[in-house]
Amino acid sequence: MKRPLPVIEIDPLAGFCSGVNRAIGNAGKHLSGGERLKCLGELVHNEEELDRLRSLGMDFISQEDISPDLRKVFIRAHGEPPVTYNKLKALKLEIVDATCPVVSRLQQKVGNSSREFKRMGEGQVVIFGKPGHPEVIGLMGNTSGNAVVVQQSGDFGKIAFGGPLHLFAQTTANQDDYRDFCEAIKQRTIEAGGDIALVTVTNSICGQVSRRAPSLLGFARSHDVIVFVSGRESSNGKYLAGLSRTVNANTYTVSSPGEIQDWFGNAGSIGISGATSTPRWLLEQVADKIMEITGNL
Ligand code: SF4
């Protein structure tokens, strides 16, 4: 017996965030001249999109590859610390700066807070984020030796409780985790005999990331099966796919259409979603593959 044709829907909020879209649009302008463009680090955590960009003429390089021969260097949406700009300028390389404006503003705020604490002679900037993440490296680079990166309560030993603290989050951090983190810091401040009025909290999580969670929960609930498309290295992808699974056990993560199996049985509706680093074109390819499997094509 033929199975009923399911409804297949792509999550309207899935696809690149504005910062990544802007960076890719910017790269496109420089790639149209036929010259290869060197991007410092991977532009997105998505292998399929990186392959597409490579085919257009983009190369992904590391700090060690910076040399006077490069001529032009592209800075991705995550941003870079001032030391990188200084190095590129010293080598007289042209900089194509695609740092997301949200990240640039955060770099400025973190830098201002750090300078103010330095002027006061006390205080610490605390960044809730992943040590070694490119955005966090950029943020730390704007501080003056009075900042720490903290990912979990096990790292609290780095924090000078009792004195002034200014808390910031990496833009892609989880909103609930950051709220819990800030509460735990306030609690520890009280235990240390400090004044929580000296703990300043800046909610620096990007709205495009924090809005995805509630909308994805609604989307995942309204479909029988969810196919979540994400690069394996994307922390945002791991988080969102896990969230989808909390309300829809039939959530399957793939990085490309070739990984899709027939998970659909008699599903009446299939939803396709993805991380902030998943391109729209890949979601559409996944939709085509599901149509092929379910006999919709
Ligand atoms: S997630 Fe937000 S802050 Fe990060 S690149 Fe995208 S728009 Fe910018």
Query: Do 257 and 288 sit in the same domain of this protein?
Result: yes
- Bridging pattern class, strands 124-128 and 165-169: parallel
Domain end (from 47, 78, 99): 99
Instruction: Please give the distance, rounded to the nearest whole angstrom, from the Cα atom of residue 246 to the centre of ligand 1.
Output: 25
Residue 125 lies in a domain: yes
Name the pTM for this structure. Answer: 0.89
What's the whole-number mean pLDDT along residues 264-277? 93
**Together in a domain, 69 and 142:** no
Joined tokens for residue 168? 């910031």
Q: Over the stretch 243-268, which tens digit does the pLDDT of each residue have?
A: 999 999 999 999 999 999 999 998 99
Q: Does residue 186 share a domain with residue 123? A: yes
- What span, in angstroms and rounded, lies between the C-alpha atoms of 24 and 167? 31
Which amino acids are annotated catalytic? 135
User: What mean pLDDT is predicted for residues 269-277?
Assistant: 94
Residue of the nearest CA to atom 5 in ligand 1?
19
Domain boundary among 177, 205, 233: 205
Asked whether residue 221 falls in the same domain as residue 276, the answer is: yes
152-188 pLDDT, tens digit each:
877 899 999 999 999 999 998 888 899 999 999 999 9
Mutate to test the pocket of ligand 1, among 24, 75, 103, 211 (most ligand atoms within 8 A of CB): 103
Instruction: Confirm if 247 and 271 have CB atoms less than 8 A apart.
Output: no
Q: Domain containing 272 — which CATH number?
A: 3.40.1010.20
Do residue 86 and residue 170 come from a single domain? no
Within a domain: 2: no
Tell me what the mean pLDDT of segment 61-73 comes to.
94
Range from 7-16, 152-161, 193-202, 287-296 carrying the lowest mean pLDDT? 152-161
Helix or strand or coil: residue 225?
strand
Q: Are residues 189 and 215 in the same domain?
A: no
pLDDT higher than threshold 90 for residue 88: yes
Q: What is the spatial distance between Cα 31 and Cα 37, in angstroms, rounded to a whole number?
A: 7
Indicate the top mutation candidate among 208, 240, 278 to test ligand 1's pocket, ranked by most ligand atoms within 8 A of CB.
Answer: 208
Residues 94 and 121 in one domain: no
Kindly state whether residue 94 falls inside one of the protein's structural domains.
yes
Q: Does 111 or 29 have the greater pLDDT score?
A: 111
Tell me if 46 sits within 8 A of 21, measured CB to CB.
no
- CA pair distance 161, 158, nearest whole angstrom: 9
Place 33 in a pLDDT band, splitting at 50, 70 and 90: confident
pLDDT (tens digit per residue) in 105-129: 999 999 999 999 999 999 999 999 9
| 18 CB near ligand 1 (under 6 Å) | yes
One domain for residues 63 and 128: no
The pLDDT value recorded for residue 1 is: 60
pLDDT, tens digit, 9 for 90 and up, residues 123-150: 999 999 999 999 999 999 999 999 999 9
The verdict on the CB of residue 24 being under 6 Å from ligand 1 is: no
Ligand 1 atom closest to residue 16's alpha carbon, by position in its atom list: 6
Q: What CATH number does the domain containing 26 carry?
A: 3.40.50.11270
Q: Work out the average pLDDT over 263-292.
A: 94
Same domain assignment for residues 120 and 198: yes
Residues 77 and 115 in one domain: no
pLDDT, average across residues 60-70: 95
Domain tally for the chain? 3
Residues 94 and 131 in one domain: no
Looking at the domain assignment, is residue 92 inside a domain?
yes
Taking residues 206-211, what's their average pLDDT? Answer: 90
For ligand 1, mutation pick of 206, 210, 239 (most atoms within 8 Å of CB): 206
The domain containing residue 50 runs over which residues? Answer: 18-99
142 & 217 share domain: no
Looking from the CA of residue 236, the nearest atom of ligand 1 is: 1
Q: Which of 38, 69, 99 is the last residue of a domain?
A: 99
Q: Report the pLDDT averaged over residues 220-246.
A: 92
pLDDT at 115: 98
Looking at residue 235, its pLDDT comes to: 76
Nearest alpha carbon to residue 297 among 104, 71, 54, 8: 8
Cβ distance 172 to 235 under 8 Å?
yes
Mean of pLDDT values over 42-59: 93
- Specify if 11 maps to a domain: yes
What mean pLDDT do residues 93-108 have? 97
Task: List CB contacts of 229: < 8 A, sequence separation 6 or more.
Answer: 14, 253, 254, 255, 272, 273, 274, 275, 278, 282, 283, 286
Q: What is the mean pLDDT of the chain?
A: 94
Amino acid 34: pLDDT: 77
